[in-house]
Amino acid sequence: MIGAAPALHGIAAGAYTFAMLRIGPFQTDCRVLLAPIAGYTDLAFRLTCRAAGHSGLTYTELLHSRGILEQNRDSLEIARVSADDEPYGVQLYGNDADWFCQAAQWAQSQGATLIDINMGCPVDKVTKTNGGSMLLCDPDRTTRMAERIVRSVSIPVTAKLRLGWSACEITAPRLARQLEEIGIQLITIHGRTTAQRFKGTASLDGIAEVVAAVRQIPVIGNGDVDSSAAAARMIEHTKCAGVMVARAAIKRPWVLREIHELLTTGQAPAEPTVLEKARLIRLHFELMRRYRGDRLAMIVMRGRIAAYGTSLGHVKPFKERIRLMNGANDFHAAMDELERRVDPAWTMVPHWAFVEHLGARQPDEVADPEAVMTT
Ligand SMILES: Cc1cc2nc3c(=O)[nH]c(=O)nc-3n(C[C@H](O)[C@H](O)[C@H](O)COP(=O)(O)O)c2cc1C
């Protein structure tokens, strides 16, 4: 899928070649992690990222530990796994050590590579139950609870934090240090506070403080990594052991591989062609049909096409067709048309590709292609 491309500015070949990323007994050569993203990182999407070349860790979206124990249908759907999606972590949230431990044991029995404890979710539904980023507010209690979880399973346990509840309550460095002492094997730090939600930019200095606070476990930087250049910048500035990517992967699942390639070879790979991107979108849709059924696949893809569209260029009529589709046949007909209209070498669709009256003519045959731009 990916051809050679020039080295990125300022990044020499192999400059970021690292030793293996070690998470307890588990190790991987990939220092790029797909983030847990509620409503997005189901099995179909995680497998789509694998098909786009991702070889590192993926995470389920956050799962309530009690939901798992009660075998709640939605929770079990979120927890659906496959041998084709390894290595993967199951992310749990909650506030009750007993539930956490039992849910962690269940995830271990399902084959999870590791368990991640959510200590960063700012959403009211989660913090009202004293879970998510509320765990940042009482580091000592959180550490005691994490210790019980660590002792309840034999696979590694990791934690995902924000910097603290607010700018005047930065608890992540202290909490990270304490978590390392009780056996947490990796920390992911999103460089924002809970109060910030997604506003402003992720603080690289804040991430660097967490990196400096722990003795030897890896710290993964997270927040606003949307390209291999942004990943290299974060690693250079914070000395973090790797990066976790969320929002950018929803738009461009191949960004995970792109970053991995840059870090290991010093070369950013070429952008996939529109045809390669289209194949991936089709695969994602078919995987959703397989795991979630036709109706849900259609509803989800109607929404997700906007994110995919950002990497396709001028495809407004195509996106409209997907948004208005009434079933799998409509979806594939729209994909067929997109594929018919594009040149195999294109990485983005030019503005004139969907102009009906251009027919088979090439752009240079049109006196002023700009004048007929409709998208
Ligand atoms: C829609 C959405 C859902 C998210 N769900 C989770 C989640 O389930 N668990 C979690 O730890 N973080 C969750 N996050 C936070 C991301 O994992 C990540 O920390 C954050 O988006 C910053 O990374 P980014 O700049 O690469 O997007 C979510 C973020 C978004 C936008």
Q: Provide DSSP, 358-373.
A: GTT--GGGSS-GGGG-
Alpha-carbon gap, residue 108 to 24, rounded angstroms: 15
Q: Hey, what long-range contacts does 24-29 have (CB within 8 A, 24 or more apart)?
A: 24/114, 24/155, 24/156, 24/185, 25/156, 26/87, 26/113, 26/114, 26/155, 26/156, 28/55, 28/56, 28/57, 28/87, 29/55, 29/264
Alpha-carbon gap, residue 177 to 206, rounded angstroms: 14
Backbone phi and psi for residue 346, each to the nearest 5 degrees, phi listed first: -70, 140
> What's the chain's length in residues?
375
Give the residue, out of 33, 34, 37, with the most ligand 1 atoms within 8 A of its beta carbon, to mutate for a pocket test: 37
Output the furthest CA–CA distance in the chain (Å, rounded). 72
CA of 18 to the centre of ligand 1 (A): 26
For the question of residue 101 being annotated catalytic, the response is: no
CA of 373 to the centre of ligand 1 (A): 36
Contact between residue 88 and residue 59 where contact means Cβ atoms under 8 Å apart: yes
Distances (CA, A) of 116 to 2, 134, 188, 269, 349: 32, 16, 9, 30, 40
Alpha-carbon gap, residue 248 to 251, rounded angstroms: 5
Contact between residue 153 and residue 105 where contact means Cβ atoms under 8 Å apart: yes
Atom of ligand 1 nearest to the CA of 190: 19
Interstrand relation of 219-222 and 186-190 (parallel, antiparallel or unpaired) = parallel
pLDDT score at 357: 43
pLDDT score at 224: 98
Which CATH number does 21-265 carry? 3.20.20.70
CA of 339 to the centre of ligand 1 (A): 32
Alpha-carbon gap, residue 11 to 14, rounded angstroms: 8
From the list 30, 49, 121, 240, the catalytic residue is 121
Estimate the crossing angle of helix 316-323 against helix 328-341, to 10 degrees. Answer: 170
Place of tokens 């220092």: 31
Task: Kindly report the number of other CB atoms within 10 A of residue 261's CB atom.
Answer: 19
pLDDT score at 363: 47
Contact between residue 136 and residue 165 where contact means Cβ atoms under 8 Å apart: yes
Place of tokens 């500015």: 9
Distances (CA, A) of 325 to 72, 314, 354: 31, 19, 18
What ranges do the domains of the chain cover?
21-265, 274-372
pLDDT score at 19: 80
CA of 36 to the centre of ligand 1 (A): 6
pLDDT score at 358: 43
pLDDT score at 15: 57
Atom of ligand 1 nearest to the CA of 244: 26
pLDDT score at 375: 30
Q: Look at the alpha carbons of 162, 305, 261, 185 in this order and tell me if their dihedral is positive or negative.
A: positive
Residues of the chain falling short of pLDDT 50: 1-11, 13, 357-375
* Residue 157: strand, helix, or coil: strand
Atom of ligand 1 nearest to the CA of 132: 11
Alpha-carbon gap, residue 353 to 282, rounded angstroms: 20
Contact between residue 163 and residue 192 where contact means Cβ atoms under 8 Å apart: yes
Atom of ligand 1 nearest to the CA of 162: 19
The burial class, CB within 10 Å (0-12 / 13-18 / 19+), for 128 is: exposed
List all residues whose CB is within 6 A of at least one atom of ligand 1: 35-39, 61-62, 91, 118, 120-121, 160, 190, 222-225, 245-248
CA of 192 to the centre of ligand 1 (A): 11
Predicted TM-score of the model (pTM): 0.92
The burial class, CB within 10 Å (0-12 / 13-18 / 19+), for 364 is: exposed
Backbone phi and psi for residue 147, each to the nearest 5 degrees, phi listed first: -60, -40
- For atom 21 of ligand 1, which residue has the closest CA? 246
